[in-house]
Amino acid sequence: MKIGKLCCLPLAGMAVLMMLSACGKQQTVESPDLLASQARQEAVDLGSLSSLTSAEKKAYSSTSKLDRNLSPGMERQVRYHFVKYSRERRGTMENFLRNSIPYLNYTKSVFRSRGLPEDLAYLAYLESGYNPMAVSRSNAVGMWQFISSTGRSYGLRQDWWMDERRDPYRSTEAAASYLARLYDIFHDWHLAVASYNGGEGKIGRAKEATGANKLHEIIQKNDTLDYKLQLREETALYVPRFLAISKIMRNAETLGLQPSSPDDEHPVLLPVSPVSVRSATDLVELSRRLGMNWKEFQAYNPHFLRSISPAGRTSTAYVPRNKEALARRVLSGTVSGAGWRYYTVRRGDTYAKVSSRTGVPASVIKQLNPGSLKRGSQLRLPVNGKNLPAVVPAAPSRDTAIASNSGRRTSVSASKGGDHASSALAELKGRRSSVRSVPATYKVQSGDTLTAIARKYDMDLDDLYAANGGADKLDTLRVGQVIRLSAPVAVASRSAPARRSAPARRSAPSLASHTVQSGETAYAISRKYNISFAELAAVNGGADALGSLSPGQVLKIPAGKTTAVAQNNTRQASPARRVQAQAPARKSASSIAEYSVQNGETLWSISRKFNMKPMELLALNGMDQSTRVKVGDTVKVIRNK
């Protein structure tokens, strides 16, 4: 169709190409067969209700505004496709049902809000199988299959950064606007829907040439028209196919259709909330801080083509509704990390040469890196879409995870020894309470990036930002530059457990204190006392005052954040007599529980669900990284009582 129909596909069958632009991967998604010429006699044979089962009769007899009072010829075509799709293409229909789960209610609400027939929402099944990533041979894109020019006409932005034809929500609004306009032209929904496929010009000329007022009248006289005016068979059959699919999807339960199971390419998507993203925001880092991997984030945001949000303007991202508050908190600060790569300017480089080497348009390079090119300087560029980093999601809050004990009880791997689980839990608790020490500073080497440095020392980028006075101070790295690293305080030996804290007095002091030790950073201290960096900065003169700490410096610690706060004093006589600060008390004790693997889950997703590190989950179950789980398997997890 001229606004984005799969118009170049053969009549014997239809395929929609799926293209993940960020990684260049293509997939084929099945669509229902077109009715070929030789099948028309069969359509006549199926023209009687006697060919339908009782369930099919019940489903077929249900009508809406768009499929009432059909002509006999249109009725036979609709019934033929109804039988074909509900029987022979049943698997395809179930795949389409699965794809539409996140979007169908929204699309219906959009059409209702415009005063349009709700059944127009079923048109996306015919266009793309409700696949936001669908691409046709004519380069029509998205769930509603807009070609570039028509998409722009209806406000769908398309540039190097994003393609809003792939935005399920914006493109639905555009499709509703276009269909409303088509109805205003023809004042007939069958003609309007046919125009969505063939174009209003084609339908308008055929209508004028035949003198017909209805689509079925144009089709009856189609063979008498000049070749250039004739409707293609695909367009002539478009409305019957749409009406047949509408009957099937309206009555999926009656027909016994069940959505296909989710898989790696079709994950379960939760209800979303839109959030505003500032210019040049690192989307890879945003996904990590939301506890999502990059592939999950892309499933919610297929319209983003790069690892960085568009520079020079705000944009909209969609996040699971239960992560909206977290997303807004994250986006209120600086979000920068693994989505960036760095290019060192060489002798003789121009913007055109850099563009040729990196694949980034010269205009984008200038926009992201204002100023002139200087040999040896580093340019900040979005990560190449084909080489996106394997980003490890940040762990979600443990107290939101709930262990489930339902399902089959098939052990993934047999434990050696009856106390394997308890000893593993003790080991993991010890591992969590100790932190590997790192140097106080690091000198930047040639080719270093912040991400590489953080990985080298098993740190988060937040550690580096906080230790160096904020992300803005690390925008550009230079060879030889010295940056500070977080150096967590070593934990007391297991053989010498910390003294139990005395019962709290009725009137606790408003602030406690901490004496800075050699190599400590403000961020490490905030983690030690289970407070945020912002809370620590608020009582110590702001973030700038914490950018550089000196041994012996005394910091204020907000009271009530830990069970015991070390009252360090540099004048204490002997280290043996110093009172060590106890580790922050957990909100609730940890225990081992069994969890039954659900459909579509992996060990990775389970570890995130229970705020465990993947290696912790593997160790707890005596598994290694090659272990795979299936639905119904039982794994041990750590949960709060």
Q: Measure Cα distances from 598 to 606, 616, 619, 633 in Å.
A: 9, 20, 21, 8
Q: Which residues pair with 410 in a beta bridge?
A: 633
Q: Which domains does the chain have, with CATH numbers?
A: 14-31+66-250 (1.10.530.10), 272-387 (3.10.350.10), 398-433+588-640 (3.10.350.10), 438-486+509-559 (3.10.350.10)
**Nearby residues of 286 by Cβ (< 8 Å), 6 or more positions away:** 277, 297, 317, 327, 330, 331, 335
Low-confidence residues of the chain: pLDDT under 50: 1-47, 395-437, 487-509, 561-588
DSSP string, 267-329: -----EEEEEE-TT-BHHHHHHHTT--HHHHHHH-TTB-SSBPPTTS-EEEEEEGGGHHHHHH
- How, if at all, do strands 25-31 and 590-596 pair? unpaired
What CA–CA distance (Å, rounded) separates 29 from 91?
12
Tokens of 300: 């919610």
DSSP string, 327-381: HHHHHTS---STTEEEEEPPTT--HHHHHHHH---HHHHHHHS-S---TT-EEEE
Q: Which of 570, 627, 633 is nearest to 598 (CA)?
A: 633
| DSSP state, residue 595 | E
Tell me the C-alpha distance between 268 and 261, whole Å: 9
Q: Which among 100, 111, 50, 49 has a CA at the least distance from the CA of 75?
A: 49
Residue 447, pLDDT score: 65
Structure pTM? 0.58
The four Cα atoms 603, 607, 610, 611 give a dihedral, to 10 degrees, of -170
DSSP H stretches of helix in 411-481: 420-433, 450-456, 461-467
Residues 339-398: tens digit of each pLDDT:
999 999 999 999 999 999 898 999 999 999 998 999 999 999 998 755 555 555 554 433
Q: How many residues does the chain have?
A: 641
Would you give the distance in Å from CA 31 to the centre of its chain? 25
Torsional sign, CA 193, 199, 205, 206:
negative
How many beta carbons lie within 10 A of that of residue 186, not counting itself? 19
- In 3D space, the residue among 241, 245, 235 whose CA is nearest the CA of residue 96 turns out to be 245
CB 519 within 8 A of CB 552: no
Amino acid at 468: N
Euclidean distance between CA atoms 596 and 636, whole angstroms: 9
Tell me how far CA of residue 26 lies from CA of 17, 22, 43, 244, 383, in angstroms.
7, 11, 35, 29, 20
What's the Cα-to-Cα distance from 362 to each of 217, 376, 591, rounded to whole Å?
55, 18, 55
Starting from the edge strand earliest in sequence, which strands make up the sheet with 134-135, in order? 25-31, 14-20, 134-135
Start-to-end CA span in the chain (Å): 58
Structural contact between residues 524 and 489, judged by C-beta atoms closer than 8 angstroms: yes
Q: 3-state DSSP call for residue 83? A: helix
pLDDT in tens, 89-106: 999 999 999 999 999 999
Report how far Cα 215 is from the mean position of its chain's Cα atoms. Answer: 41
What's the token pair of residue 47?
A: 């023209």
Half-sphere exposure of 495 (CA within 13 A, CB side): 0
DSSP 409: -
Show the tokens assigned to 45.
Answer: 């044979």
Please tell me the predicted confidence (pLDDT) of residue 481. Answer: 86
SS (H, E, C) 532-554: CHHHHHHCCCCCHHHCCCCCCCE
pLDDT at 321: 93
Question: Over the Cα atoms of the chain, what is R_g?
Answer: 31
